Copies of this chain bind each other. A is one copy, B any other.
Amino acid sequence: MAQKPSIPKGTRDFSPAEMTRRTYIFDTIKDVFSTFGYAPLETPAMENLSTLLGKYGEEGDKLLFKVLNSGDFAAKVQADELSNSNALAAKICEKGLRYDLTVPFARYVVQHQNEISFPFKRYQIQPVWRADRPQKGRYREFYQCDVDVIGSRSLMNEVELISIVERVFSKLNIRVILKMNNRKILYGIAETIGHADKMIDITVAIDKLEKIGLDAVNAELIERGIDAEAVARLQPILELTGDNMSKLDKLEEVIGESETGRKGIEEMRTIFRLIKDLDIYLDVELDLSLARGLNYYTGAIFEVKAVDYAIGSICGGGRYDDLTGIFGLSGMSGVGISFGADRIYDVMCGLDLFPLHATISTSALFVSLGEQEQLAAMRAADMLRKEGVQTEVYPDICKMKKQMEYANRRGIPYVIIIGSDELAENKATIKDMESGKQYKVATEEIVAYVKYAYGVLMD
């Protein structure tokens, strides 16, 4: 007897019920991206390993899925090469699965730089693969939804992305807070306290402020080799309060000597002023403890959290000045954000935010009670479909009970019955599965009736 088949650990099947909801999220995001003039891009799942290696740090290299060369790959391997898996992998694998959408985007921009009209506004929604240890909420295959503009230094781009964040989450009905910081400010802080080389250490420590408290952060800073005087100079920054603009004013008093720091402050002032001028209805907060791991960010950084649901950030990104430098094209500044579809899905399930229509894949089912009855049902179903109503005709002529059970399990809101009586009268009985009520209507009224009832249901 065959064993029940399974899928690789860390990967998932998405059932129709899940896909219907996920599609709602993706479609909402795509719609917003395209109303802002961002155009879709797709890159291949496999990239040359030379494109991917060295772009995600040593740890990242280990997490790349490598694809075995076709043909007689083993013929070129010597026995002594078996002692080193890394070197051997490099010899027998030329390709790997993409690890994110950012490096393929940078690769695309460099490869096609002569065909692209800059500023280049693109979005990309595709799966990525990481050989991470699977655990709750961490998968080996997951979708990223990235939106970037490259080839423009204008802060208007940051503001536009903030608008996109506002629009997406307001459409999805998720209350969010957008936390912002700026890498130039972080550098300015490090420079001011005399540890310009320790920006990463300082931001990693500050990043934990909310989690472990001020004293523990100070202890960690000392541990990371920041001297006591510098830690003391850092205190006013760690204790900043007030609104964004007054935080920036106080910050300027402390780090105003740092040219880079001042530039970062100026950028944030511009962005906050524009958000206000443009009436962007979003809770935006300067959060100096926000660091974000990726080392290619050079300006504003973003992170979005759901207000009513405890989960990590559901969206994040930032400004980078030299993303394409790794592929030999310098001076291309850009800014982008990435929406975390899996977490957004979890938030929406957790808060029960999916609208009814995003949970239904079939609105009406015609039961089949006889050959002539089924023919009449097929004809009527066609009229509904032409009006965009998702309609099925049960394909087998069988007991009513079995067909009703199918409708129930599938969550189909309307069952339409054309039995021999209805056929003779040129009518149909529409059953509202929620209320259990039935209505007999003329065949030519089915469309109007279902569309009306469905409209009421969705309201």
Contacts from A to B (Cβ < 8 Å): 1-8, 11-17, 19-20, 23, 34-37, 39-48, 50-51, 62-63, 65-68, 70-75, 77, 79, 81-85, 88-89, 92-95, 97, 107-108, 110-112, 115, 117, 119, 121-122, 127, 129, 131, 140-141, 149, 152-154, 156-157, 159-160, 163, 167, 274, 277-278, 326-328, 361-362, 365, 368, 374-375, 378-379, 382, 385, 388-397, 406, 409-410
Which among B6, B35, B40 is the interface contact of A389 at CB below 8 angstroms? B35
Are A42 and B71 interface neighbours, CB within 8 A?
no
Task: Give bound CA distance, A252 to B362, whole Å.
Answer: 40
Determine the chain B residues whose CB is within 8 A of the CB of A82 once the complex forms.
74-75, 77, 79, 82
Are B19 and A41 interface neighbours, CB within 8 A?
yes
Closest beta carbon of chain B to A332's beta carbon, Å: 14
Closest beta carbon of chain B to A117's beta carbon, Å: 4
Chain B residue nearest in CB terms to A388 = B35
Given contacts A2-B328, A67-B67, A278-B379, contact A153 B396 (CB under 8 A): yes
Which among B11, B73, B79, B108 is the interface contact of A13 at CB below 8 angstroms? B108
Determine the chain B residues whose CB is within 8 A of the CB of A17 once the complex forms.
39
Are A152 and B7 interface neighbours, CB within 8 A?
no
Chain B residue nearest in CB terms to A363 = B37
Are A85 and B74 interface neighbours, CB within 8 A?
yes
What is the interface of chain A mostly: helix, strand, loop, or mixed? mixed
Closest beta carbon of chain B to A12's beta carbon, Å: 6
Closest beta carbon of chain B to A114's beta carbon, Å: 10
Are B37 and A19 interface neighbours, CB within 8 A?
no
Given contacts A45-B45, A45-B141, A46-B141, contact A40 B20 (CB under 8 A): yes
Copies in the complex: 2
Determine the chain B residues whose CB is within 8 A of the CB of A375 once the complex forms.
274, 277-278
Are A149 and B395 interface neighbours, CB within 8 A?
yes
- Listed from nearest, the 6 A-B pairs whose CB atoms lie closest are A2-B328, A16-B39, A37-B392, A11-B44, A79-B79, A19-B40
Given contacts A36-B385, A67-B66, A97-B67, contact A5 B74 (CB under 8 A): no
Task: Give bound CA distance, A327 to B5, whole Å.
Answer: 7
Are B74 and A83 interface neighbours, CB within 8 A?
yes
Chain B residue nearest in CB terms to A111 = B5
Are B361 and A34 interface neighbours, CB within 8 A?
yes
Are A107 and B48 interface neighbours, CB within 8 A?
no
Are B44 and A395 interface neighbours, CB within 8 A?
no
Determine the chain B residues whose CB is within 8 A of the CB of A152 once the complex forms.
395-396
Are B23 and A40 interface neighbours, CB within 8 A?
yes
Which among B13, B362, B392 is the interface contact of A112 at CB below 8 angstroms? B13
Are A85 and B73 interface neighbours, CB within 8 A?
yes
Closest beta carbon of chain B to A174's beta carbon, Å: 19
Determine the chain B residues whose CB is within 8 A of the CB of A379 once the complex forms.
278
Chain B residue nearest in CB terms to A30 = B23
Determine the chain B residues whose CB is within 8 A of the CB of A66 once the complex forms.
67-68
Closest beta carbon of chain B to A106's beta carbon, Å: 9
Determine the chain B residues whose CB is within 8 A of the CB of A111 once the complex forms.
4-7, 13
Are A46 and B156 interface neighbours, CB within 8 A?
no
Chain B residue nearest in CB terms to A280 = B382
Determine the chain B residues whose CB is within 8 A of the CB of A365 once the complex forms.
37
Are A107 and B39 interface neighbours, CB within 8 A?
no
Given contacts A19-B40, A75-B85, contact A328 B4 (CB under 8 A): yes
Are A41 and B16 interface neighbours, CB within 8 A?
yes
Subset of 6 A-B contacts with CB under 8 Å? A16-B41, A19-B39, A20-B39, A45-B127, A154-B396, A156-B396
Closest beta carbon of chain B to A127's beta carbon, Å: 6
Given contacts A2-B327, A67-B68, A84-B74, contact A395 B40 (CB under 8 A): no
Which among B70, B115, B117 is the interface contact of A406 at CB below 8 angstroms? B117
Chain B residue nearest in CB terms to A94 = B8
Task: Give bound CA distance, A158 to B110, whole Å.
Answer: 48
Task: Give bound CA distance, A112 to B274, whole Å.
Answer: 52
Task: Give bound CA distance, A122 to B51, whole Å.
Answer: 36
Determine the chain B residues whose CB is within 8 A of the CB of A74 once the complex forms.
81-85, 88-89
Task: Give bound CA distance, A182 to B316, whole Å.
Answer: 54
Are B45 and A129 interface neighbours, CB within 8 A?
yes
Are B160 and A395 interface neighbours, CB within 8 A?
yes
Are B72 and A85 interface neighbours, CB within 8 A?
yes
Which among B68, B70, B157, B397 is the interface contact of A395 at CB below 8 angstroms? B157
